[in-house]
Amino acid sequence: MIDRSRELINSGAQTIYEATFSENSVLVMVDILHLGDDSWELYEVKSSTGVRPYHLDDAAIQWHVLKHAGLKLSMAAIVVLNNQYRRKDELFTRRGRNRY
């Protein structure tokens, strides 16, 4: 996976999912690594509605490993669920009134 992530970067990939790097025996897997204008953006995706202290620790470790691996980084973000989101329409719709 580490070699594959390097291959994707070297081939000009704009976005890499689960990009994997290792530095000094620390292995990290970045959820989303996206190439911005001239540097990489790190996105850590969480299945919670708020940022927890350990989420920040996780992103900081990833940042450290990627910097030492030679990547130019411009930002890191924790992506969480929006608990204020409301769907405008019903999730399921029923067409016709056929009975089976």
- Taking the chain (100 residues) in runs of 10, the rounded mean pLDDT of each run is 92 98 96 97 92 95 97 95 76 50
The CA-atom distances, in angstroms, between 63 and each of 81, 89, 92, 100 are: 22, 40, 41, 57
Q: 32: helix, coil or strand?
A: strand
Spell out the CATH class of 2-79.
alpha beta
Whole-number Å distance between alpha carbons of 34 and 52: 23
pTM of the model: 0.81
C-alpha 54 chain-centroid distance: 16
Spatial contact of 63 and 39, defined as CB atoms under 8 Å apart: no
Spatial contact of 22 and 70, defined as CB atoms under 8 Å apart: no
